[in-house]
Amino acid sequence: MATYKQLLAEKEALETKLVEIREQEVAGVIEKIHQLMAEYGLSVEDVAPKRGRGRPAGAKRAAPALPPKYMDPKTGKTWSGRGRAPSWLGKRPERFLIEVTEG
């Protein structure tokens, strides 16, 4: 039966061999890609086009802003009731409720 140190030595040898073989295979794959690109007249932009600035593909748009429910009369700052509560709201938020008028 192999000892722990022998197995570690085998592991290191295998890892070294893995790195060498991967480098060889990657070089071959890159060469094949270059050949195919030349054969079909493709550029890097054709294969991996740059994305435009802005939102990543598939990203959801932000929800529209909600109307404010609370307002600080001293500063005029408002809060919609979503997310972290502002410090000015204190322990009795009902004092800062905005009265809704139907109209």
Domain boundaries, the chain: 4-47, 63-103
State yes or no: pLDDT of 73 exceeds 60.
yes
96 Cβ contact partners less than 8 Å away, ≥ 6 residues apart: 70, 71, 72, 73, 79, 88, 89
pLDDT in tens, 79-102: 998 889 999 988 888 889 988 776
Q: What pLDDT shows up at residue 102?
A: 64
State yes or no: pLDDT of 103 exceeds 60.
no
pLDDT in tens, 24-56: 999 999 999 999 999 999 988 888 877 777 776
Cβ proximity of 98 and 71 under 8 Å: yes
Q: What pLDDT shows up at residue 8?
A: 94
Report the 10 Å Cβ neighbour count for 1. 4
Structure tokens at 8: 């570690």
Global pTM value: 0.42
